[in-house]
Amino acid sequence: MLTKELVRYRFVGGKALPCFLDPDDTQVNSLSEELLSLFENSRGKQVKEIKEALDQCSTKLHPAFQGLAKLFFDRCTYVADESIETERWQRILEAQTLRREQLFHTREAFQETLSGVWGKSLGEIQEKLYGDLPDFQRVENFEKVEPKALVHRYNCALVQGLVLFATRLRVSVEHASLVERRNLFRAIKFHRLVVGNFTSDEGRLSFELEGPLSVMMSTQAYGFRMANFFPHLPFLEEWRMEACLKLKNRECRLELTHRQGLRSHYREWGGYVPEEFEQFVSSFNERYFPWQVRWSDQLVHLEKQDFCFPDFTFTHLENGRTFYFELFHRWHKGNLIKRLNTIQKLPSHPLRIGVCQSLYKQDSIRTIIEKNGQFLDKFLVTFREFPTPKLVNSFLI
C-alpha cells in the first residue's frame, strides 16, 4: 500500500480525484519497465544500494516514480541476520570498556584504536551491526510482476490510500449475480467491517460501510481493513462507490465506478476460509452428528428489506432443521443493537446470535438484553474470542 505522501490526488469542485495512470501510456510503461529491470537484479543487494540505483534512473522525475518504486519494494522479501542484536550489544560493551580504560582526545583517535582492537575497519563493523535496519537489509527474493499489472496495482493503491481517510463509504452494485453478492459480503465479513443501511431492490444492491474516522476503535487498524476491502469491488461487473473523506482538514467526496477500468490485484474470491472457521467447522462436524455446519455464503432475509449475512449455517441431517449463526465482535455494536431489535419481532426465525463478551458487557447492549432476557435466551450466546463447538451445540439443542 502507498504511504500518505505518495497518494496523488487533486481537489476539483468538492471532490478528491485520484491521479490515475494510463496503463497504455508509453511514458508510464517506460517507467515501469525501467523499475522492473532494476528490481529483477536486486537479489542479494541492500535496500540502500537499490535506493542509490533509483536515484540514477532516467525516469525518476515522473510524479508517480516514488509510488511505483514503493510497490516494487513491497514485492521483495528481505533477510536479516538474527545474531546481529547480540553482537551489537557485545560491541557496545567492548567500546564502553575501552573508553573507561583509556583517555582519548579526539573521536577519530578512539575509532582508530577501536578498529585495531576489533581487527576490522569501523565501516565494516557498522555495516555488520546495522544490518537489521531497513536500509541495510538484503533482498532475498523479488516477486516479478508485469509492468502493466503494476500500473493497475498503483491505481488501486491510490484509492486505498484515500479510503483510509473516509468517514463513510457507500457501495452500489447493479445486476449482481447471487455468487457475486455472496463473495462481496464474504469479503465484508472477512475484513470485519461495519455494514449499515442495506437495501436490495430490482437487481440493485447498496449498503454503507462506516469509515475509520467514524468508528470508535483503533482507527488505523480499521482503516487498513476498509482499504484492503476495496480491491474486491473491481471484480463486479457494475459498481459504484461514494466516500465522504476528510483530507487536509477539508471535507470532500470520492466517487468511483466500474467505468474507471480499475483492476484488482487480488485473486478472485474463491474458497478461502479463515483458520478459526475451518477449525470450528471440522471439530463440530466430527463431534456432533447429525448436526452439520458449514461456512455460510448466502444472504438471509429478516424482514422487508433487511438482510443479514450469517457466519455459519447449521443443518440437522435427519429432520432437516436449519439454523443460521451470526457472530458479533466489539466493532459490531451498532449492528448488534439493530439485530437485537429486529429479532424480537421474529420469534420463529432460525437466526441465532453469538456475541463476544467485551461487547456483551457494554451498558447499551446489556440494557437491551436484560430488558428482554427471557425472550433473547434462545437466540443469543456469548463467547470470549471465538465460540467453541461445545458451546454452540448446547445452544442448538
Measured CA to CA, the distance from residue 68 to residue 382 in angstroms comes to: 46
**Rounded to whole angstroms, how far apart are CA atoms 128 and 86?**
12
Does a structural domain hold residue 241? yes
Question: Do 386 and 288 lie in a common domain?
Answer: yes
Chain segment 59-98, per-residue pLDDT in tens: 999 999 999 999 999 999 987 666 677 777 888 888 888 8
In a domain, residue 317? The reply is yes
Both 288 and 376 in one domain: the answer is: yes
Residue type, 290: P
Q: Per-residue pLDDT tens, the chain, 397 aa: give them.
A: 899 999 999 999 999 999 999 999 999 999 999 999 999 999 989 899 999 999 999 999 999 999 999 999 999 998 766 667 777 788 888 888 888 888 888 888 888 888 888 888 877 777 767 766 788 888 999 999 999 999 999 999 999 999 998 888 999 999 877 678 778 877 887 787 877 777 777 678 888 887 665 554 456 777 888 899 999 999 999 999 999 998 888 899 999 999 999 999 998 765 556 788 889 999 999 999 999 998 876 678 787 656 788 889 999 999 999 999 999 988 788 888 888 888 888 888 899 999 999 888 888 888 888 887 666 777 888 898 899 999 998 888 6
- Domain boundary residue among 270, 292, 324? 270
Tell me: do 253 and 230 sit in the same domain. yes
The answer to whether residues 384 and 310 belong to one domain is yes
Backbone angles phi, psi at 72, to 5 degrees: -70, -40
Model confidence over 290-317: pLDDT tens digits?
A: 999 988 766 787 876 567 888 899 999 9
Q: Which amino acid is at 181?
A: R
| CA dihedral of 62, 67, 72, 73, whole degrees rounded to 10 | 120
Using CA atoms, how far apart are residues 233 and 180, in angstroms rounded to an integer?
10
What is the domain count for the chain? 3
Within a domain: 49: no
